[in-house]
Amino acid sequence: MHAAVGRVVATAWGEVYLRPELGRCYEVNQAWAVADAGGVPAETIDRDVERLMRRAGLPHRQIAVEEPAALRLAGALADLGYATTRHLYLAHEGPPPPAPDVTVDEIDVETLLAGYDRYLRTDPETPYGRDAVVRSHLLEHHRTYGGAGPAQERRFAVLDGRGEAVAWAKLWTAGRVAQVEGVICLAGHRGRGYGRAVVAAATLAGLADTPDLLVIAADADDWPKELYRRLGYVPVGGKHVMIRHALDHDWRGTAA
């Protein structure tokens, strides 16, 4: 999916994905150290990332490090100024979750974008979204990313009385693999089971095609992973995301 929306630069340790016209969106402007990263040291990876992302005019540096290389590279990259977040991959291996006890609708991308715009403008978790450039780049990412590559994107949401999305999740399907992604519940609507409802709806839709693999990702240090466990997901792996933010900006842009 990254390759479908931007440029890919192959390296001895992995790939670098570049879409500089959306430079405030980290998700499509990052490096990916694959498997054991070819045994390449952290200093070389950092040097390559610095050269390629600087040449593309990008102020941040982000490297996803798969687990085979993480033990070797994460500490060294931290010493080079990168902050670390560990993401878990959880695969659905339990029974199907019960049907949501609140109404969940399948929505179009424009309804989703209106919800994201509200989330970026108002949510306490998204101070970076107050920046108009950051917000426009992230919204364009959500508009184009799901439909550009080999995956089909579907969107499931709880709507308020005005028909506006207040919680949602995406389902990506490509061949025999599916992923639930981008789970959001607006701050004023939390504590009502809406997050659980949209994840359950997307999970049931994914399972309906009997995929070989259905996964969801979660921050290893945050609570949603426990919700996903209760819906039948179990940890199967992970990656480290290493970020060095732009020092000359007060925003902290990230892909939602």
What average pLDDT does range 38-46 have in this prediction? Answer: 98
Percent of the chain residues topping a pLDDT of 90: 91
Instruction: For residues 109 and 230, state if they share a domain.
Output: yes
Q: Give the pLDDT of residue 252.
A: 42
Asked whether the whole model's pTM tops 0.75, one would answer yes
Pairing type for strands 213-219 and 177-185 reads parallel
Q: Quote the CA–CA distance of 101 and 104 in Å, as a whole number.
A: 9
The answer to whether residues 72 and 17 belong to one domain is: yes
DSSP state of 248: T
pLDDT at 124 over 80: yes
The CATH number linked to 208 is 3.40.630.30
Count of CB atoms situated within 10 Å of the CB of 42: 24
State the average pLDDT for the chain.
94
Determine the structural domain holding residue 84 and report its residue range.
2-88+239-244
Has residue 175 been placed in a domain?
A: yes
Q: Verify that 190 and 73 share a domain, yes or no.
A: no
- Is residue 70 located within the same domain as residue 149? no
Does residue 59 share a domain with residue 159?
Answer: no
Residue 76 has φ and ψ, to the nearest 5°, of -65, -40
Condensed to tens digits (0 to 9), the pLDDT of residues 166-177 reads 999 999 999 999
Domain shared by 21 and 122, yes or no: no
CA 155, 158, 163, 164 torsion-angle sign? negative
